Each structure stands twice: as C-alpha cells, then as structure tokens.
Amino acid sequence: MKESLTQLLVHLDASPHASRRLEVARAIAQTHGAAVTALYAVTPALLVVPFAPEAGPSVAAALGEIDAERRARARAVFDRAPAVPGVHAAWAEVEDYPIVPAFVRQALYADLLVLGQYDPEDSESAGVPFDFPELVMAGSGKPALVLPYAGAMPSVGQTIVIAWKPTREAARAVSAAVPLLQRARRVHVVSWGEASEGVVGAKLGLDDYLKLRGVEAVWHREGGPEPSALGDLLLSRAFDLDADLLVMGCYGHGRAREWVLGGTSRTILRSMTLPVLMAH
C-alpha cells in the first residue's frame, strides 16, 4: 500500500519564487490528498534596515509601508492561486521574530516543508536569511523540499535520484521521500564505495528497504572513495539521468551560534539545478 503525505507547510515571502513553491506544494498535496498551509515568514524591514531613531517617524512609517506592501503581494499570490480539487489550503503569518524559530515551531507538525533556494539577485528576498532552509531543517528535524530559484520545473518527482550513503541523514531523507518514491516513474540510487556493516547473514540494506515498499530502483554503484567534489558530481549525474528530484541527507553541525553546512550540502543548496528533498 502506498504511503501518503498529510500536511505540507510551504514558506511564502514577497519574492516571485513564492508562487512556484505554492504551486508545487498544491500539486503534491493533490496527489496525496494532503492539506497545505502557506506560512508567510519575513523579518520586518524595520528590523532589517538600520536607521537612527532621530531620523523621525517618517522613516519608520516608510519601512512599515514596505512591510505592508510585501505582505499584500504574498497574500495576493495565495488568493489568486487556482483552487485544486481535494486540497485544503490555509494562510498563516509569523508574528514573532526572529522568524526561523517561529517557522520551526510550525514545521514540527508538517510531514514535508516546501522551501526555496536563496536568490542573491532578488531584492525581495530581504527579510529571509540566506541560510533559511538549512536552519529550518536543523531546528525542526523535518524533511524539506527545496526548490531552485532558476529554471523551469514542469514536474517534481517523476524521475528521482537518491544520493545514498549509510548515514542517519540519508536514511531520514529516504524515509521521508517514500511517498514520492512510490509514485515515481523511475528511481535511481547513486552511491560510492562499499559500506561495511560488520553483519553477516540476512543483513538489511537499502535495496530491500525500497522493494518492501514497492519501489524498484536502478543502482549506480561507483567504485573508490567518495569524490571530493561530490555536490557538483551529484548535480551532473542528476542531469544525465533526466531527474526532476534529488533525495539526500543534509549534513552540518552547530558551531558557536551559527549553523555550518558540510561541503556537499553547501554546494547543492548554492548551485542546485533541480528540486532537492533533504533531511538532517
């Protein structure tokens, strides 16, 4: 029996990419009979743009107008989105700052988050941290579908590539992706090296894990150690396999007061050319 997602949480801001995130979330929700909540989360310009209090109330009022206009634009995207049969879509707003902890608290109740890659050329991305996706994943422990800001995405999840390594992060990403994997037309698994579990006999493995869930995958086992430029290589392989979704772990750790991404995760999130489902 196929598994289904029940609740998606999509991040909305004032950028033009927000409508694509909502569109993808609704399409996935329709397939799974899931609900969608669109959560508007943007730090107010008043808290982002430094200004001296002596500048007067006119500056604060102008910044407030910017915030109101941005919110209105995002709400219009939500309101104008065509109704999708069988999908309940709801609007919500973050009113607590900083926005990441507030978003994380809502993420705890979703099966899948739909987030966007940071676009350095988009001025409307102001108010959303450049590392928003990884902070939300690390804080919530929930899987996220991160959409690239560039390129067309006619479909998501028809051909899926799993970047596999025997780690907690990769295993959590695959587990979260099962409902999508079960509905994909083609599934590929790309891995490097040979894992040594120290187990003999009827040991468990990813291939059997997938088959027990009705997923037949084509394996691409690469010899030798994991390459240093793995992120770029994964994107290249995904392109060669005509994939529209990459499933992988999100690797990193907290240091001091910041979140530090691993090299492969950093490369994927900065240079992604297709949607990526990640889990930490």
Q: Looking at the domain assignment, is residue 236 inside a domain?
A: yes
Task: Give the model's pLDDT for residue 257.
Answer: 52
pTM: 0.93
Domain boundary among 108, 124, 147: 147
Residues 74 and 183 in one domain: no
Dihedral sign, Cα of residue 190, residue 192, residue 194, residue 199:
negative
Residues 14 and 134 in one domain: yes
Q: Looking at the domain assignment, is residue 1 inside a domain?
A: no
Q: Looking at the domain assignment, is residue 131 inside a domain?
A: yes
Please count the structural domains in the chain.
2
Tens digits of per-residue pLDDT, 14-27? 999 999 999 999 99
What domain range is 255 assigned to?
Answer: 159-279
What CATH code is carried by the domain that includes residue 94?
3.40.50.620
Task: Give the model's pLDDT for residue 59.
Answer: 76
Tens digits of per-residue pLDDT, 200-249? 888 899 999 999 999 999 999 987 677 778 999 999 999 999 999 999 99
Domain boundary among 147, 167, 192: 147
